[in-house]
Structure 1
Amino acid sequence: MLNDRIVLFGLHELKGIGWKTIERLVAATSGALSGLLAAEPADLAGFGLKPNIAVAICDNLTEDFIVQRLELYRTKGIAVLTALDANYPPLLKEIAQPPWVLYVRGDARLLSNAAIAMVGTRSPTAYGKKMAYELGKKLADAGVCVASGLARGIDASAHRGALAGAGSTIAVLGCGADSVYPVENASLAIDIIQKGVIVTEYPIGTAIRPGLFPQRNRIISGLSLGTVVVEAAERSGSLITADQALEQSRDVFAVPGPATSPKSSGTLELIRQGAKMVARVEDILEEYPGVARTGGASGRNSAPTGFAGTGDERKLLDLLAAEPVAFDELLVLTGYEFGHLHSVLLNLILKKEIEPLPGSFYTKL
């Protein structure tokens, strides 16, 4: 019989079955999804599903269907990672709607590395492309993955910079893993698959449409400690990623540009609203002590750095030694500012010293 994670994959492959339907089934079965293979429509209706959805699942979620879909991904060299897997990216678990399934080409281990997102306009200036490339390279040299969306412009420059560095890069697609959009970045995608990782939540054959890209952006920011906006106009789509980073309690950085440049109006507004200004890579790395490697050590195919043992980290570990503690209680016990506490917790998660639990609780591993 197929296990729960494989059945979750099968559910995700069914057309017309969305995130909330899967959430309801996971909650109703306490994650024991393999029982759905023998369920009747009345059983699923009892979980609160609409009759037509219940019938669709019972008719189509079969062992043969799941095995055929798995084989299709295998032949295309696409790995499947589910929210029930132990190696699911820890930071991504923390967002409001983490993907139930990730489709991966390349080194999936990089998805759990320390990462910084870099986004911006699709039609950058020469200055914007240079800044994205140089910041991407220097982040990679420090052992930090660079996450972006493989779009033309700033995204592509950031990916290329990271590939030129000692570390690597994560490309999050707004389409299936068997497609590349835009087509002009096909050769870049090949380089990323060989030296980094491409990931998407969309099954093979998903048609490219504009509405998928804002959803994609939450994964870019969700995989990352913070998001850097390099160049963005006042209504740039990259500002959506910055908004999502804030909603996820992640850091937002912005690269300043000329006050007269329309392509910098969005980044200058972010700085005015409190985003940290970035002129050099150290402006980013200083926010995450213990995360960056020194000496340009390779971040490719490796886990985050070991426990650095700062005073703030030791204090939190002591508080979590006996039992799980809620985030709000940690705020009171430590006296830390909200952003600082979140940053220290993220560092400890990446160093595999603590684990986030449902309800914003944290426990020591």
Structure 2
Amino acid sequence: MAEICPLAQEWLTLGFIPGLGCALTNKLIQYFGSPAAVLQAGDKLQQVAGVGPELCRRLSDTSCVDAAKKRAATELHLLTQKNISLFSLQCSNYPASLRTIQEPPLLLYCKGDLSIFKAPAVAIVGSRAATEYGKRVSQLLACGLSDHGVTIVSGGAYGIDAAAHQGALQVGGKTAAILGCGIDVTYPKSHQKLFAEIAEHGALLSEYPLASKPEGFRFPARNRIISGLAICVIIVEATEKSGSLITARLALDQGRDVFAVPGRIDSVKSSGCHRLIQQGAHLVQGVDDILVELQLLDAGSGFAKTTQQKKGGMESEAEQVLMSFLDVYPVDIDTLARVSGLTTNEIHMLLLQLELKGLVRQLPGQQYEKNV
């Protein structure tokens, strides 16, 4: 059942006044104490820095305020109809970590369970056009963190974001997607099933009114929410001009730790991560690096070993020999035959056994790589 914050009509009315952005609205709420007080402030509005004559006129214009009230009433009706919750900055359920950031969202639309943020949350973000390596690492990190009770936060986009959400869901963990559009808008459209799973086992969140389109300016703005909800941000793949680096900068401004996953030095998709590492971001080689740094795991407890034990059983001597010639980079059967001394038939049989154990994966073009 949808949970609607107290005084929702007033919060929505203020939000629907044209020309009032998040920063200025936050300033007005801090000055006057409540949305209702702002709407009734009259000439006192001019005492607040940044409030110009035009905004004063709108907030004092009965027809403008009435139009905003009417839109607010419609919004409340739709929220109830669509089973979407609404939380204001002054709600007790509003995530505590988000209150402390610069320009916290005044309203959070939520489909799912906001209580998942009572657990520590970690953000995993990166390239939309991710490589198979990037998606695999994102999913692996999300699985490992979820196994330790961490909530996974991301942006619901293609590539790294989707892999992070899927990793959490795969092990029955909690995950939240922060949207750059209205919560009732599915973007990208192909993520309809994924978003439904996230809403069922975690939360979809947005600061934008219902039916808001996924316009470009909304995504950099929502990144402050992704980092604000988390105790740290992990960048998996990013170019030097990636939007994920905006999230990293916001995280640093908010006092959050930033982690970066290294990649190939000849890949532009890893250049942003490498730059972050050069600038002091924590280098990630596995889940342990994050858990230990966040004091969620004792150093040397060997989480990676536990993860490996979940994949199949012990390898035979022949399987171990073949595994020694495999890496996370793809290799074809002819190359394996040349370097290992095994016959092609032996390699085919061993690769099949290793695939069944989840230790090897086949890629297009008859290429194989370790499934780390």
User: Normalising TM by the smaller chain, what interval?
Assistant: 0.7 to 0.9
- Secondary structure of the 2:293 match is coil
- 1:122–1:219 Cα change, 3 Å: same
Decide whether the 8 Å contact of 1:136 with 1:159 is kept in 2: yes
Q: Are residues 1:98 and 2:136 paired?
A: no
Q: CA RMSD in A?
A: 2.4
Which amino acid is the alignment partner of residue 22 of structure 1?
T
Unmatched tracts of structure 1, length 5 or more: 297-365
Decide whether the 8 Å contact of 2:59 with 2:65 is kept in 1: yes
- Secondary structure of the 2:204 match is strand
Q: Are residues 1:235 and 2:274 paired?
A: no
Per the TM alignment, residue 57 of structure 1 is displaced from its structure 2 partner at its CA by 3.0
Which amino acid is the alignment partner of residue 120 of structure 1?
G
1:19 matched residue in structure 2: 22
Decide whether the 8 Å contact of 1:221 with 1:245 is kept in 2: yes
Identity of aligned residues (%): 39
Deviations 1:128-168 (A, max 9, x none): 11101111111111110110000100000010001112321
Structure 1: distance between partners of 2:276 and 2:134: 16
Decide whether the 8 Å contact of 2:16 with 2:71 is kept in 1: no
Decide whether the 8 Å contact of 2:88 with 2:106 is kept in 1: yes
Higher mean alpha-carbon deviation, 12-21 vs 188-197, is at 12-21
1:158 matched residue in structure 2: 164
Per the TM alignment, residue 218 of structure 1 is displaced from its structure 2 partner at its CA by 0.8
Deviations 1:233-273 (A, max 9, x none): 22211111111111111000011111122211111111111
**Which residue of 204, 207, 217 corresponds with 1:201?**
207
Q: Are residues 1:69 and 2:75 paired?
A: yes
Q: Are residues 1:254 and 2:233 paired?
A: no
Structure 2: distance between partners of 1:141 and 1:270: 27
- 1:262–1:97 Cα change, 3 Å: same
Structure 2: distance between partners of 1:121 and 1:40: 46
**Which residue of 138, 145, 148 corresponds with 1:139?**
145
- 1:216–1:64 Cα change, 3 Å: closer
1:315-330 map, 5 Å: none
Structure 1: distance between partners of 2:18 and 2:199: 27
Structure 1: distance between partners of 2:11 and 2:295: 37
TM-score (norm 1): 0.74
Per the TM alignment, residue 42 of structure 1 is displaced from its structure 2 partner at its CA by 3.4
Per the TM alignment, residue 6 of structure 1 is displaced from its structure 2 partner at its CA by 4.5
2:55 matched residue in structure 1: 53
Higher mean alpha-carbon deviation, 176-185 vs 12-21, is at 12-21
Which amino acid is the alignment partner of residue 288 of structure 1?
L
Structure 1: distance between partners of 2:14 and 2:111: 21
- 1:111–1:268 Cα change, 3 Å: same
Per the TM alignment, residue 25 of structure 1 is displaced from its structure 2 partner at its CA by 2.4
- 1:65–1:215 Cα change, 3 Å: closer
Decide whether the 8 Å contact of 1:108 with 1:197 is kept in 2: yes
Which amino acid is the alignment partner of residue 52 of structure 1?
E
Matched residue pairs, number? Answer: 291
1:224 matched residue in structure 2: 230
Larger radius of gyration: 2
- 1:193–1:234 Cα change, 3 Å: same
Q: State the 4+ residue runs in structure 1 displaced beyond 4 angstroms.
A: 2-6, 45-48, 62-65
Structure 2: distance between partners of 1:287 and 1:135: 14
1:313 matched residue in structure 2: none
Which amino acid is the alignment partner of residue 220 of structure 2?
P
Per the TM alignment, residue 19 of structure 1 is displaced from its structure 2 partner at its CA by 1.6
Per the TM alignment, residue 20 of structure 1 is displaced from its structure 2 partner at its CA by 3.1
TM-score (norm 2): 0.72
Which amino acid is the alignment partner of residue 179 of structure 1?
V
- 1:281–1:179 Cα change, 3 Å: same
Structure 1: distance between partners of 2:133 and 2:196: 26
2:135 matched residue in structure 1: 129
Report 1 or 2 for greater relative contact order, CA contacts < 8 Å, sequence distance ≥ 6.
1
Unmatched tracts of structure 2, length 5 or more: 304-372
